[in-house]
Amino acid sequence: MSNVRSDKPFILAGRTFQSRLLVGTGKYRDMEETRLATEASGAEIVTVAVRRTNLGQNAGEPNLLDVLSPDKYTILPNTAGCFDATEAVRTCRLARELLDGRKSHESRTLVKLEVLADQKTLFPNVIETLKAAEVLVKEGFDVMVYTSDDPIIARQLAEAGCIAVMPLAGLIGTGLGICNPYNLQIILEESKVPVLVDAGVGTASDATIAMEMGCEAVLMNSAIAHAQQPILMAEAMKHAIVAGRMAYLAGRMPKKLYASASSPLAGLIK
């Protein structure tokens, strides 16, 4: 059948990953819960807020890298808490220095760029994001970029050299799910780089829907860390991502307005 989808590997910065779930490392009760939830998620990529997490810059404090080893996980530093391009670029440079020697050379330049507009919405400032992306790409960083669900901005970020665009499903930490599936669908249809949903996921069905739409992967933190049982939710998300990807590849049945019998009506025994 010509419309059958065949799966393709999930590749970022030249590396192939088996898991299509990326998880954050903040908001957990303690380091042990962070470790257990991350393990339960099956994630291979974990994102770390450089400005809020000790990666060795604060001597004497617990170091996240002692719990989530770079030998086991790809550490994805992010610029959470940055509100302009200059600050975001500086944070990425700091992350590269902190992780030098703790990560392989191949993954040392992978960063998640997010430049926020304000504290209330944590909506991306797309103008400052574009500025930062252009600088970071020129400096050799592999930039995964958090952005709005505006298809034009997503296109411009990809054209600027970002290796993946990460439109929000909903505002960070809200758990509202995919608020604008139509814009996301346009981004998916047009994008020449991987599209990952970032922010807004609240439960497993949200993650599944994102994958069914054709997203390459989903990144989440609050949906797991703020669950009543984070470790159990992390495992649920692992299965949700797999189920959504399989459903996308399988192709759903067409929607119909009226009923259609499962068994044919023709040839009924009289």
Collapsing DSSP states into helix, strand and coil, what is residue 75? strand
Collapsing DSSP states into helix, strand and coil, what is residue 57? coil
Which position among 103, 112, 131, 238 bears the catalytic label? Answer: 112
Element counts in the chain: helices (H) and strands (E): 8, 10
How many residues belong to the chain? 270
On whether the CB atoms of residues 112 and 146 are closer than 8 A, the answer is yes
> Across the strands, what pairs with 103?
100
As a whole number of angstroms, the distance between CA 132 and CA 150 comes to 18
As a whole number of angstroms, the distance between CA 269 and CA 146 comes to 60
Structure tokens at 146: 């958090």
> Across the strands, what pairs with 75?
46
Judging by DSSP bridges, how do beta strands 142-147 and 164-167 pair with one another?
parallel
Strand order in the sheet with 164-167: 164-167, 142-147, 110-113, 74-78, 45-49, 21-24, 217-220, 196-198
As a whole number of angstroms, the distance between CA 203 and CA 25 comes to 17
As a whole number of angstroms, the distance between CA 243 and CA 205 comes to 10
Mark whether 112 is an active-site residue.
Answer: yes
Which residues are tagged catalytic?
A: 112
